[in-house]
């Protein structure tokens, strides 16, 4: 079983070397995806021995980095790709558990869950992040017939052959919404593995309009609903219950940014959110 460990990075100069030192003993095949970092990340990556690097000339989003990892794993004929973050919120020492699960499990996706174990029940989590995760995880389970406890954890093992069956296109933070819908539509086998619940970035920015929790939740829902509508014939009948025929909330977001120009820049706002949140580019 050939396994690639892939780590997306964006302006992680403060964590990068420490995470590398912790990951390296468990990962002979290690890939970093530098998503257009503007700090010293790129220079540090160049000094790390024995790693592969994909560099984006500009910031393209978390989802794009994960998709690039899948493509690399496929091209290099890996069987599994394990993703984890570079902010010291995922414990590299748990990689052997993911490797063992991949070797002995028939699952296609082994997803880390920070909420499976009662050990972390009292761990502090930014309230809006817990709320958004709870709401969307519940809705995903209800609509798709899944049994997740954490729909946003980036610590995952993915069977490469299974990922090749999906048509993933999301570039931003809403990537997991598309992944779960397509995985359900493709009848992939999904299991969870308890992981540590660590939050050391309470002031993390999602970028521009997505820093507003309600806007972020609306954006995630829009991607979830769009993907459900697209593959509805492959999902449980209840998947589309109550979903509007077309999304409308981008117009209201745009109107708040550019009063009187909501309809004109709603497409631009969609692109903004899909790229992780940047300044609205419309005229």
pLDDT bucket at 247, cuts 50 / 70 / 90: low
Task: Look up tokens 């308890």; give the residue.
Answer: 194
Q: What is the pTM of this model?
A: 0.85
| CA 104 to the chain's CA centroid | 25
pLDDT in tens, 27-48: 999 999 999 999 999 999 999 9
Q: What is the mean pLDDT of the chain?
A: 86
Biggest CA–CA distance in the chain, Å, is: 57
Q: Which residue has the higher pLDDT, 255 or 147?
A: 147
CATH 2.40.50.40 corresponds to the domain 3-203: no
104 C-beta neighbours (distance < 10 Å), count: 8
What proportions of the chain, in percent to the nearest 5, are helix, strand and coil?
45, 10, 40
Extract the tokens encoding 54.
Answer: 């994909």
Q: How far apart are CA 159 and CA 26, in angstroms?
A: 18
Q: 82 forms bridges with which residues in the sheet?
A: 5, 157
pLDDT bucket at 90, cuts 50 / 70 / 90: confident
214: pLDDT strictly greater than 50 = yes
CA distances from 240 to 95, 187, 217, 225, 273 (A): 37, 17, 18, 8, 23
Q: How far apart are CA 276 and CA 140, in angstroms?
A: 21
Q: How far apart are CA 40 and CA 236, in angstroms?
A: 47
Which pLDDT does position 197 carry in this prediction?
82
H or E, element range at 213:
helix 213-230
Which pLDDT does position 248 carry in this prediction?
55
| Mean pLDDT within 117-137 | 84
pLDDT bucket at 262, cuts 50 / 70 / 90: very low
58: pLDDT strictly greater than 60 = yes
For 50-117, the DSSP string reads T-EEEE-SS---HHHHHHHHHHHHHHTT-SEEEE--SSS-S-GGGHHHHHHHHHH---SEEEEESSS-
């Amino acid at each position: 079983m050939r396994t690639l460990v892939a780590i997306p990075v964006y302006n992680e100069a403060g964590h990068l070397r420490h995470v590398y030192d912790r990951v390296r003993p468990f990962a002979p095949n290690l890939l970093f995806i530098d998503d257009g970092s503007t700090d010293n990340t790129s220079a540090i990556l160049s000094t790390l021995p024995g790693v592969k690097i994909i560099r984006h000339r500009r910031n393209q989003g978390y989802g794009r980095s994960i998709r690039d990892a899948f493509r690399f794993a496929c091209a290099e004929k890996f069987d599994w790709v394990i993703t984890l973050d570079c902010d010291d919120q995922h414990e590299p020492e748990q990689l052997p558990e993911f490797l063992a699960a991949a070797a002995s499990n028939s699952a296609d996706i082994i997803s880390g869950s920070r909420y499976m174990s009662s050990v972390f029940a009292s761990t502090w989590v930014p309230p809006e992040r817990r709320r958004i995760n709870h709401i969307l995880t519940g809705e995903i389970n209800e609509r798709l017939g899944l049994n997740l406890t954490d729909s946003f954890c980036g610590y995952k093992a993915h069977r490469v052959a299974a990922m090749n069956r999906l048509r993933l296109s999301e570039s931003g933070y809403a990537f997991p919404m598309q992944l779960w819908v397509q995985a359900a539509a493709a009848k992939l086998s999904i299991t969870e593995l308890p992981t540590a619940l660590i939050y050391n970035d309470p002031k993390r920015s999602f970028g521009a309009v997505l820093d507003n929790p309600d806007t972020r939740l609306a954006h995630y829902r829009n991607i979830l609903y769009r993907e459900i509508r697209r593959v509805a014939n492959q999902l449980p009948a209840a998947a589309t219950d109550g979903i509007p025929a077309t999304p409308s909330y981008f117009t209201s977001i745009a109107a708040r940014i550019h009063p009187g120009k909501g309809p004109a820049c709603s497409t631009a706002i969609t692109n903004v959110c899909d790229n992780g949140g940047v300044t609205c580019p419309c005229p």
